[in-house]
Amino acid sequence: MSLLSQVVETAHAIERVDGPICSATPPRERAADYDRIAAGYDMVVGTTLYNRLVWGNWARHYSEAAQRFLAEAPAGPLLDCGCGSLVFTANAYRQSAALDRLVLQDRSLGMLRRGAKRAANGTFLQADAAAMPFKQEAFTGVMSWGMLHVFGTGSPFLGQLKRVSA
């Protein structure tokens, strides 16, 4: 838990849930909407067809963007907020030396468990993006893929990202 102890506010309790996954969420609040759709997410959203039809994008562009981010990231802890199941990013993360300083955060344990199968050496944390447990300016670099449409503009999400970015 050493990367997490570096970036999480001391007031927040972190508990290991299973394997490489920890949680900053109280046990009775750990269920999340994406738990039920995690397998379907990978099967549908992870496909080239879905990305071409819905987003007009190629799935490989997400992976390439994550690769570029890690290659250019400054020294220090990094965050993927809303990392999900790593359906697009796992290859980039597994191949990067920066994986050992990357926190993979998501609200859904179902999504994180799928992510942990793809990148077992990752540091996974269940936590709410609208109330992040991280210290101010904890991260030298922050990524968040496919999250803006989940929250909308009125959410504290963007303010939280700014608060934890150095």
- Contact between 129 and ligand SAM per CB under 6 A: yes
Helix (H, G, I), strand (E, B) or coil at 164: helix
Q: With contact defined as beta carbons under 8 Å apart, do 8 and 2 qualify?
A: no
Quick one: tokens of 39? 């397998």
Site for ligand SAM in 48-107 (CB under 6 A): 82-84, 87-88, 106-107
The H helix count followed by the E strand count for the chain is 8, 6
Amino acid at 141: G
Q: Which stretch binds ligand SAM (CB under 6 A): 18-26, 64-72, 90-98, 124-132?
A: 124-132
- Kindly tell me the burial class for residue 83, based on how many C-beta atoms sit within 10 Å of its own C-beta (0-12, 13-18, 19 or more): buried
Stretch that binds ligand SAM, among 7-15, 23-31, 53-61, 128-136 (CB under 6 A): 128-136
Tokens of 10: 């001391």
**Residue number, 129 or 142, with CB nearest to ligand SAM:** 129
How many residues in total does the chain contain?
166
Dist. CA 50–CA 20, nearest whole Å: 30
* Residues 26-55 within binding reach of ligand SAM (CB under 6 A): 32, 34
Rounded to the nearest whole angstrom, what is the least distance from the CB of residue 154 to ligand SAM in the complex?
A: 13
- Which stretch, 68-76, 91-99, 134-142, 143-151, contacts ligand SAM (CB under 6 A)? 143-151
- 150 forms part of the interface with ligand SAM (CB under 6 A): yes
- CB closer to ligand SAM, 78 vs 106: 106
Q: Which of 7, 147, 161, 164 binds ligand SAM (CB under 6 A)?
A: 147
How many Cβ atoms are within 10 Å of 140's Cβ, its own excluded? 15
Contacting positions for ligand SAM (CB under 6 A):
32, 34, 82-84, 87-88, 106-108, 111, 128-130, 145-147, 150
